[in-house]
């Protein structure tokens, strides 16, 4: 499959590999338009279906993960167009149906829809030059790809309000301190760090990886009792797998486990 607005690559030498998707509209700082979101969805689902892929990395350029929704495309949209075509809902959230872990690797700016796209991933690794923001208010709109919901869940109400209402940017250090980002890494080491984390994940039993992701995500969709019950049932179900037997046997026999993903 050939794409015009993204690049795809497969990295790694172990049984399970990492699919890397790079947003690639350099002249527009990777601004997100419909074509890019369609291509991104297609690439994500391709990696999701590929049994040789255990983890996915989504990244951009050194200057920009993504500077937000494409303002030149949106400028002439009217209500009929955005409501009628289900703008954003139609093709921006494919990533939410991916069951394999997705790591956002953010260098440079992640603004507006770019920050929202990073937040749709499972974790964010940031370069020390990264900047996050929800500046939509400056152009007469508000975040429209989940920013008003995911940002307060990630960093709390006060900081989220600050960012959404003043449009100020947060640097990588503040983003990590606030809980938006899981690791901050020097720019030139960032991709190696992310590939290393992906390799670690690829080495685990993939049913438990999928179950872990599903259970953590449930924390954002349910109350505590329901979430804990969901986790408990998934935890119970993993005792039906060969990888649970193998993982525990290997630990007790002081050897490395040989997971079969079953």
Q: Which residues bind ligand CAA (CB under 6 A)?
A: 28-29, 31, 67-72, 88, 109, 111-113, 116, 135-136, 139, 143-145, 147
C-alpha distance from residue 252 to each of 46, 192, 237, 255, 259 (Å): 38, 32, 21, 8, 15
Structure tokens at 154: 């990630």
Q: Reduce the secondary structure of 224-257 to three states and give it as a string.
A: HHHHHHHHHHHHHHHHHCHHHHHHHHHHHCCCCC
Q: Which residues on adjacent β-strands are paired with residue 91?
A: none
Shortest distance, CB of residue 18 to ligand CAA, whole angstroms?
Answer: 27
Q: Closest CB to ligand CAA among 103 and 111?
A: 111
176 a catalytic residue: no
48 a catalytic residue: no
Shortest distance, CB of residue 92 to ligand CAA, whole angstroms?
Answer: 7
Using CA atoms, how far apart are residues 196 and 132, in angstroms rounded to an integer?
24
The enclosing H or E element of 54 equals strand 53-59
Q: Closest CB to ligand CAA among 96 and 99?
A: 96
Closest CA to 110 of 36, 6, 31, 164: 31
Structure tokens at 235: 């935890």
Shortest distance, CB of residue 181 to ligand CAA, whole angstroms?
Answer: 18
Shortest distance, CB of residue 149 to ligand CAA, whole angstroms?
Answer: 12
Burial of residue 84 (CB within 10 Å: 0-12, 13-18, 19+) is: exposed
12 a catalytic residue: no
Using CA atoms, how far apart are residues 8 and 142, in angstroms rounded to an integer?
31
Q: Closest CB to ligand CAA among 175 and 212?
A: 175
Structure tokens at 213: 């992701």
The single residue of 113, 114, 144, 147 carrying the catalytic annotation is 113
Phi and psi at 147, nearest 5°, equal -60, -40
113 a catalytic residue: yes
The single residue of 69, 104, 145, 172 carrying the catalytic annotation is 69
Q: Closest CB to ligand CAA among 63 and 232?
A: 63
Q: Closest CB to ligand CAA among 63 and 99?
A: 63
Parallel/antiparallel/unpaired status of strands 170-171 and 131-133? antiparallel
The single residue of 116, 118, 175, 176 carrying the catalytic annotation is 116
The single residue of 68, 104, 136, 194 carrying the catalytic annotation is 136
Q: Closest CB to ligand CAA among 68 and 247?
A: 68
Using CA atoms, how far apart are residues 172 and 115, in angstroms rounded to an integer?
12
Category of 156 on φ-ψ map: left (φ > 0), alpha (ψ -120 to 50) or beta: left
Shortest distance, CB of residue 132 to ligand CAA, whole angstroms?
Answer: 11
Shortest distance, CB of residue 258 to ligand CAA, whole angstroms?
Answer: 45
Active site residues: 69, 113, 116, 136
């Amino acid at each position: 499959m050939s794409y015009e607005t993204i690049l795809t690559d497969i990295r790694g030498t172990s049984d399970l590999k990492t699919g890397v998707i790079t947003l690639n509209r350099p002249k527009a700082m990777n601004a997100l338009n419909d074509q890019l979101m369609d291509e991104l969805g297609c690439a994500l689902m391709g990696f999701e279906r590929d049994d040789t892929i255990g983890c996915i990395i989504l990244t951009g350029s050194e200057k920009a993960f993504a500077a937000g929704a494409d303002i030149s495309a949106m400028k002439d949209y009217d209500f009929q167009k955005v409501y009628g075509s289900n703008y954003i809902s139609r093709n921006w959230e494919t990533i939410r149906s991916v069951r394999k872990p997705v790591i956002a690797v953010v260098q440079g700016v992640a603004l507006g829809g770019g920050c929202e796209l990073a937040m749709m991933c499972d974790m964010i690794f940031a370069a020390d030059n990264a900047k996050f923001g929800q500046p939509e208010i400056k152009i007469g709109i508000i975040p429209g790809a989940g920013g008003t919901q995911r940002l307060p869940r990630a960093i709390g109400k006060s900081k989220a309000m600050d960012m959404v209402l003043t449009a100020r940017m947060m640097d990588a250090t503040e983003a990590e301190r606030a809980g938006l980002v899981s690791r901050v890494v020097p720019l030139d080491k960032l991709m190696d760090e992310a590939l290393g984390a992906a390799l670690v994940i690829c080495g685990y039993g993939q049913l438990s990886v999928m179950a872990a992701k599903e259970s953590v995500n449930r924390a954002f969709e349910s109350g505590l009792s329901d979430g804990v019950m969901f986790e408990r049932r998934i935890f119970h179900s993993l005792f039906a797998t060969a990888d649970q037997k193998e993982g525990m046997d290997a630990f007790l026999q002081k050897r490395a486990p040989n997971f079969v993903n079953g």
